[in-house]
Structure 1
Amino acid sequence: METGAAEVHAVLDALAGVGCPCWISGGWGVDALVGRQTRPHRDLDLAIDAAREADALRVLAERGYVVETDWRPVRVEVVASGLGRVDLHPVVFTDGDGRQAGLDGDWFDYPGVDLTTGLIAGRPVPCISARLQLAFHQGYEPRDVDVLDLRLLQELT
């Protein structure tokens, strides 16, 4: 099952409706920076304000999403039949910068300067920068889709 552009917009609208700031990362985040869809996407990766996580989960549940993978505080993935998957990454913000818990006690930093805007299906959307996307692609063996994403990100930097 793919998560399409229309569902990306619907999820963003639902989260905005409950005041939950979010930024797209992962494959859709790359495509937002490029300004066009470059490949199918299994899920929508979102960095969300950890203070609004309960609101995010509630509004997504209202859309039919149920928790499939719960690795909180690192991430929680929800899935809705016929709609797609959303992988939420709770980020704690202080003075405009954020920090997401990682596995084994490490963390990922989200500098405020790396929270930007891209385009999905012609609509401006919040996303993380190419620089930060490249940093998040380090430390693991890239899959085929990662290789494409990395090439596109390198062209942007």
Structure 2
Amino acid sequence: MFEAGDVLRVLETLGEAGCEVWIAGGWGIDALVGRVTREHGDLDLLHRVEQEPAVIAALEAAGYAEREGVVPGRPARFVMAGPHGRELDLHPLRFAPDGSALQRLDERGGALSYPAAAFVTGVIDGARVPCLSAAQQVHFHQGYEPRERDLHDMARLREAFGIVTHF
């Protein structure tokens, strides 16, 4: 399990290596609402694709190693497993000059888009952290059958921001 202190240590490690990252997924939602609302088995991080060698090197130095056989895998994402079974789900982004970004999904041109306004800050354990906006989180929680944790996360966003979610 990832605890708040573990998240902040990963962010510090990557920041010291000069890497820009943004928290997504469950920890991203907790950052938006400013408190831990559930247990987290992993940490989703978005990073600049051109910084990927530095991201990998910094995480390897901290005891993480890339896990093979992840589906879907590259170019959309890759997973690094680390100390105490912690997993990082890493998503490379290619940024445009206007601050928007694309995440390649496959070799056929599939991609997810992130408007510049998707990159905001939240709070974990009293520390300001980069994360995805509530609107982007809601957008990414569409088009699939929600799991219990997805229902929980969307309920937290509705409570905190008064926004409408589709489940």
Normalising by structure 2, what TM-score?
A: 0.89
**Equivalences for residues 84-103 of structure 1 within 5 A:** 84-95=86-97, 96-103=99-106
Highest Rg: 1 or 2? 2
Taking only aligned residues, the RMSD between alpha carbons, in angstroms, comes to 1.3
Deviations 1:94-153 (A, max 9, x none): 111100012564211111111000000111100000000000111111110001011112
Structure with a larger share of its residues in strand? 1
Of the structure 1 ranges 84-93 and 96-105, higher mean CA displacement relative to structure 2 is found in 96-105
Structure 2 SS opposite 1:82: helix
Relative to structure 1, is the Cα distance of residues 66 and 75 closer, same or farther in structure 2, using a 3 angstrom cutoff?
same
Aligned length: 156
Which position in structure 2 is the counterpart of 1:141?
Answer: 145
Q: Could you tell me how far apart the structure 1 residues matched to 2:103 and 2:51 are?
A: 14
Is the CA contact 1:7–1:84 (under 8 Å) kept in the aligned structure 2? no
Structure 2 SS opposite 1:10: helix
**CA-CA distance at 1:14 after TM superposition:** 1.0
**CA-CA distance at 1:54 after TM superposition:** 1.0
Which position in structure 1 is the counterpart of 2:16?
Answer: 17
AA partner of residue 27 (structure 1)? G
Structure 1 SS opposite 2:84: coil
**Equivalences for residues 64-75 of structure 1 within 5 A:** 64-69=63-68, 70=70, 71-75=73-77
Is the CA contact 1:3–1:83 (under 8 Å) kept in the aligned structure 2? no
**Equivalences for residues 112-151 of structure 1 within 5 A:** 112-151=116-155
Q: Could you tell me how far apart the structure 1 residues matched to 2:148 and 2:47 are?
A: 27
Runs of 4+ aligned residues of structure 1 deviating over 6 Å after TM superposition are: none
**CA-CA distance at 1:84 after TM superposition:** 1.3
**CA-CA distance at 1:83 after TM superposition:** 6.0
Q: Could you tell me how far apart the structure 1 residues matched to 2:46 and 2:33 are?
A: 19
AA partner of residue 85 (structure 1)? E
Which position in structure 1 is the counterpart of 2:115?
Answer: 111
Which stretches in structure 2 are left out of the alignment for 5+ residues?
Answer: none
Deviations 1:3-58 (A, max 9, x none): 11111111111111121111100000000001000001011101111110111011
Normalising by structure 1, what TM-score?
A: 0.94
Q: Could you tell me how far apart the structure 1 residues matched to 2:109 and 2:102 are?
A: 12
Identity %: 42
Which stretches in structure 1 are left out of the alignment for 5+ residues?
Answer: none
